[in-house]
Amino acid sequence: MCVVVINEILTQRRVTINAICRFYDQHEYRINL
């Protein structure tokens, strides 16, 4: 789940979150941090 991954990486890197979220759920989740 993109949300779960974000919660863990949110504290580390924001750019990585966008990349991961885009990689897993490109058309399901659109998160701009």
- The ranges assigned to domains in the chain are 1-33
- Read off the pTM: 0.23
pLDDT of residue 7: 65
Q: Print pLDDT tens along the chain (33 aa).
A: 456 666 666 666 555 666 666 666 655 555 554
pLDDT of residue 14: 59
CA–CA–CA angle 11, 9, 23 (5° rounding): 150
- Rounded-to-integer distance, Cα 19 and Cα 17, Å: 5
pLDDT of residue 15: 58
- Rounded-to-integer distance, Cα 10 and Cα 3, Å: 10
Structure-token pair, residue 29: 């989740």
Task: Write the burial class of residue 5 (CB in 10 Å: 0-12 exposed, 13-18 middle, 19+ buried).
Answer: middle
